Structures are given as structure tokens and as C-alpha cells.
Amino acid sequence: MTEETRPVLADYLARHYGSLKRRVTRLLGSSDLAGDALHDAWVRLSADPAEASPVRSPGSYVVRMAVNIAVDALRRGSRSLPLDEVEALIELADPLPGPAQTTEGRSELAAMARLLERMPPRRREVFLLVHLECLTQEEVARRLGCSKRTVEYELKYAHDYLVARMER
């Protein structure tokens, strides 16, 4: 579009605004959106020229430009949330633990580690293999060379011991 083409198109838009708005309204389905898009098109056409090619059909060019502007505006608008949804999101509770919960969790973990140290070695090993390494009781029995019944016994006593001491 040449330098003299932009003012001609802006002038064309101003002179034929009514018919252009009807065409754009028919395409977009909204008179307000069509008016806003034509206004933005006029602003762009009145700005400094950036392209250098002649326009054969100014009406079609302006209509296409306005429709493209409206579609871009609708896309931008669809990415934003309404105010009531933003307020609802702000009021959502943060699922992450706060500083107090983190400190309490670390304290409980340290207390459990101290209690585990006081357990008999085989009981502690059974507990750790089941709960930290996620082994089945059968796998623990094979690894330690004992019966599954022994693993069940050691695990039950480890749980009872930890529950009784942690509740204090």
C-alpha cells in the first residue's frame, strides 16, 4: 500500500461508514463489535504507512481488515476471565502447606526417626522395607530370610509402637 493509499482508505471508510458497518455487522453478528472494529481500522489506516501495495477494492479491504481486528479482539477477550471468576480463584485455599504445617511435619518426622532408632534392628528394617522401599511382605521375608508370619509380626509391633509413642 502506498503512502497516498492509506489516507484514501481512511477517507473511504469515513465516507462509506454506514454501508461498511452493515456489511461487517452481518459478518460478525454484532453492531457494537462492528463499530469498534471499524474504528480501530480507521485508526490504523490513519497511522503512518507501513506497506507499499495498491488496493483494488477498498470496500472489501476495509471490511476484511475490520473483521480481522474483531476476531483478534475476540480471541484476546476469550483468554481473560470475568471478574467474578478471578475473585473466586483468589479465594481458593492454597493446597501447599504453610510454614507452620511444614515445621510441624518436620518435627513429627524427626520424632519418628528417633523412635525408629529405638526399635530392634530387624523390626526397624521390616518397617523401612515395607514403607520406604514399598516391598511386599513376601519380598521382605525373602530378602531377610525369615517367614512371612515373622514379617507380619514385626510390622504389627512396629506400627503399634509408633502409634502409641506418636500420640503422646
Cβ-proximal residues to 148 (8 Å cutoff; 6+ apart), any chain: 137, 138, 141
Q: What is the pLDDT of residues 39-92, one digit of tens each?
A: 888 888 877 555 546 677 888 888 888 888 888 887 777 666 677 776 776 777
pLDDT band for position 130 (50/70/90)?
Answer: very high
Confidence of residue 3 (pLDDT cuts 50, 70, 90): very low
**Residue 24 pLDDT level (bands cut at 50, 70, 90):** confident
The full set of domains in the chain, from first to last, is 5-81 (no CATH), 99-166 (1.10.10.10)
- How high is the pLDDT of residue 51? 54
Mean pLDDT for 19-32 is 86
Q: Grade residue 7 by pLDDT with cuts at 50, 70 and 90.
A: low
- Answer yes or no: pTM beyond 0.85: no
Q: Which has the higher per-residue pLDDT, 16 or 118?
A: 118
Predicted confidence at residue 146, as pLDDT, reads 95
- Using a pLDDT cut of 70, give the percent of the chain over it: 84
pLDDT digits (tens, 9 = 90+) for 83-107: 777 677 677 766 777 888 889 989 9
User: Does the structure show a pLDDT above 50 at 157?
Assistant: yes
What average pLDDT does the chain have?
83
DSSP assignment string, the chain: --TTHHHHHHHHHHHTHHHHHHHHHHHHS-HHHHHHHHHHHHHHHHS--------S-HHHHHHHHHHHHHHHHHHHHHTSPPHHHHHHHHTSPP-S--HHHHHHHHHHHHHHHHHHHHS-HHHHHHHHHHHTS---HHHHHHHHTS-HHHHHHHHHHHHHHHHHHHT-
Instruction: Look at residue 4 and tell me whether its pLDDT is greater than 60.
Output: no
